[in-house]
A = this chain, B = another copy of it.
Amino acid sequence: MKQYAQMDKEELTALKGELEAAFSKHKEKGKKLNMTRGVPSNEQLSLCNELLTCLSMEDYLSENGTDCRNYGGIDGIPEMKKIFADLLDVTPDEVVVGGNSSLALMFDNVAVNMSHGVRDGTSWQSQGQIKFLCPSPGYDRHFTICNYFHIDMIPIAMGQDGPDMDAIEKAVSSDPMIKGIWCVPKYSNPTGIVYSDETVKRFARLKPAANDFRIYWDNAYAFHDLGSKKVEIPNIIRLCEEAGNPNMAYVFASFSKVSFAGASVTCIASSKSNCEFIRKRLTVQTIGPDKLNQLRHVRFYKSAKGVLAHMEEHAAILRPKFKLVADTLSRELDGTGIAEWTNPSGGYFVSFDALQDCAKKIVALCAQAGVTLTPAGATYPNGNDPQDRNIRIAPTCPSLADLGSALEIFCAAVKLVSVEKYLLSK
Interface residues of A, count at CB 8 A: 56
Q: Which of B42, B50, B57 contacts A53 (CB under 8 A)?
A: B57
Return chain B residues, CB-CB under 8 Å to A64: none
A65-86 at interface with B (beta carbon < 8 Å):
67-73
A228 at interface by CB-CB < 8 Å = no
CA of A103 to CA of B288 in the docked complex: distance in angstroms?
A: 10
**A111 and B101 form a contact (CB under 8 A):** no
**B293 and A290 form a contact (CB under 8 A):** yes
CA of A104 to CA of B56 in the docked complex: distance in angstroms?
A: 28
**B144 and A262 form a contact (CB under 8 A):** no
**A263 and B69 form a contact (CB under 8 A):** yes
CA of A149 to CA of B289 in the docked complex: distance in angstroms?
A: 22
**B57 and A56 form a contact (CB under 8 A):** no
In whole Å, how far is A126's beta carbon from the nearest beta carbon of chain B?
Answer: 9
**A101 and B286 form a contact (CB under 8 A):** yes
- Nearest B residue to A71 via CB reads B261
**Residue-wise interface mask of A (169-205) relative to B, using a CB-CB cutoff of 8 A (1 in contact, 0 not):** 0000000000000000000000000000000000000
Return chain B residues, CB-CB under 8 Å to A108: 285
In whole Å, how far is A96's beta carbon from the nearest beta carbon of chain B?
Answer: 15
**B52 and A59 form a contact (CB under 8 A):** yes
In whole Å, how far is A375's beta carbon from the nearest beta carbon of chain B?
Answer: 15
Return chain B residues, CB-CB under 8 Å to A99: 99-100, 290
**A70 and B261 form a contact (CB under 8 A):** yes
- Nearest B residue to A99 via CB reads B99
A324 at interface by CB-CB < 8 Å = no
Return chain B residues, CB-CB under 8 Å to A60: 49, 52
With A53-B53, A148-B285 given, name 8 new contacts (CB 8 A). A37-B71, A52-B292, A68-B263, A71-B262, A104-B285, A107-B285, A262-B287, A263-B290
Q: What 9 A-B pairs come out closest when comparing CB atoms? A: A104-B286, A69-B260, A263-B292, A49-B57, A101-B286, A101-B287, A71-B261, A107-B285, A263-B290
